[in-house]
Amino acid sequence: MNKIQSTNLITEEILPGRSLWADGIRRLRKRPLAMICFVIMILYGGLAVFEFAAELAGWEKASVAHWNEITGPSYQKPFAPYEWIKEDGSKQIRREWFGTDFLGRSTFRRTLYGAKTSITVALCASLISLAIGVPLGAIAGYFRGWIDDLVLWVLSTLDTIPYIVLIMAFAVILRERTVFGLHLRGITAVYLAMGLTSWVGICRLIRGEIIKRKESEYVLAARATGCSNRRIIFRHLLPNVFHIIIINLSLRFVGFIHAEVILSFLGLGETDKPSWGAMIDSARAELARDVWWEMTAATAAIFLLSLALNLFGDALRDCLDPKLRVD
């Protein structure tokens, strides 16, 4: 009996160690729902990248790039056949998957294009909020004292203002301004507004984590070996809280997409190009005349992406946070 126990002990000891990430990914792979959500996210991301590339390279054959093309009569119902005269004068019977809008443009193409707007905004806003929130939180948590007081004061002040109102105020202020030679309009103003207002949460989180970890053995060891504060923060502490940033980001991404939709709905978002918020705003007024397809298409697109991001974010948290691991 004793012999067997000692053999087991030896086996466990020689098992190769797994990093937090490798372990997290292994656990994630065991969750089919999370993987489906991941695939959906990849599809959306891929679509956005494709649209971006198509626009940049001027790929004429990519149909999503022609979201502004008139493909049928105004307010054509989904799947209903209609006769359409092509540019060469010949007639053809067509069907539009998600119908057409008031100008006769394809709702399907506009919905697909909306992915680019939403993901661009969410991504840029995330990067800006991270760029501000993470270093500030880390510095405040590490140094404490007056730096911490100052950062906390800014955090608390911004936190007292309702989020959407704050974004709207920033969006209104930033619109049509030229900052460092960059003319802010459309979605540029939107993601800047979001990024500049949404760093509070991540900053508070990182500050808390750094306070918790700054007395850890590995930090003390680094300090004992003469590492500078900058090195301790950016090479030792931050990599150890990086998984928290990722989890937080995956959940916030949804919030950014929703905020973009709200801003576009309020007329503060994209002006020239399709966005889901702008589509919902247009469709809201058209519902009464039984034009339901534009609303349905945009909300379905948002719903699917939000659901995938939320489920994936939850799964990621479960897999990466040691306290929440279930298997």
Partner 1 sequence: MNSRKPVLTESNDRFVTMLVLFFFIISCAALLTSGCWKKTPPDTEEILFQQRSRAKIQTLDPAQVGDVPTDEISREFFETLYYYHYLKRPYQMVPQLAAEMPQISEDGRTYIIPIRRDVYFHDDPCFPNGKGRNLIAEDFIYAWKRIADIKVVSKNWWILDGRIRGLNEFREYTKTYRRGQADYSRPVEGLTALDDYTLRIQLIDPWPQLVYILSYISTAPMAKEAADYYGDDIQNRAVGTGAYILKEWSKGSHVEAVRNRRYRQDFYPSEGMPEDIDAGLLADAGKPVPFIDRIIWRIVEEDQPRWLLFKQGRIDINSIPKDNFGQAVSFGQTLTEDMKKRGIRLQTYIEPNVFYLGFNMTDPLLGGNKPLRLAINYSIDREKFIDLLFNGRGIAAHGFISPAMADYDPNICEHSYSFLDLDKARACLQEAQQIYGGPIPKIRLAVGGTDTTYRQIAQFYQRNIQELGLEIEIELYDWPTFLEKMRKNQLQIIGGSGWMADYPDTENFLQVFYSKNASWPNSTNYASAEFDRIYEEVRLMPDCPQRTRLYRQAERIVMEDLPAAFVFHRIGYILYHDWVGNFKPNAYKAECMGGGFAKYYTLDKEKRRAYWERFK
Burial class (CB in 10 A: 0-12, 13-18, 19+), 30: exposed
CB of 47 or CB of 70, closer to partner 1:
70
12's tokens: 């466990």
Collapse the DSSP code of 1 into the 3-class scheme (helix H, G, I; strand E, B; otherwise coil) and give the result. coil
Burial class (CB in 10 A: 0-12, 13-18, 19+), 211: middle
Taking the alpha carbons of 223, 211, 164, 260 in that order, is the dihedral positive or negative? positive
Is residue 284 a contact residue for partner 1 (CB under 8 A)?
yes
> Residue 114: which of 126, 122, 102, 124 has the closest Cα?
122
> 76 Cβ partners below 8 Å, 6+ apart?
82, 96, 99, 100, 104
Identify which range of 10-18, 81-89, 284-292, 316-324 contacts partner 1 by CB under 8 A: 284-292
> Residue 189: which of 128, 112, 250 has the closest Cα?
128
Position among 42, 57, 80, 285 found at the interface with partner 1 (CB under 8 A): 285
100-129 residues in contact with partner 1 (CB under 8 A) are 102-103
Q: How far is the CB of 181 from partner 1 (least distance, A)?
A: 18
Identify which range of 46-54, 92-100, 262-270, 314-322 contacts partner 1 by CB under 8 A: 262-270
Identify which range of 10-18, 106-114, 172-180, 199-207 contacts partner 1 by CB under 8 A: 172-180
Spell out, one character per residue from 57 to 96, where the chain touches partner 1: x when CB under 8 A holds, - when not: -----------x-x---x----------------------
Is residue 218 a contact residue for partner 1 (CB under 8 A)?
no
Is residue 51 a contact residue for partner 1 (CB under 8 A)?
no
How many chain residues interact with partner 1 (CB under 8 A)?
23
Alpha-carbon span 206 to 203, nearest angstrom: 5
Identify which range of 116-124, 126-134, 266-274, 299-307 contacts partner 1 by CB under 8 A: 266-274
Residues near partner 1, by CB under 8 A: 68, 70, 74, 102-103, 172, 175-176, 185, 266-268, 271-272, 278, 281-282, 284-289
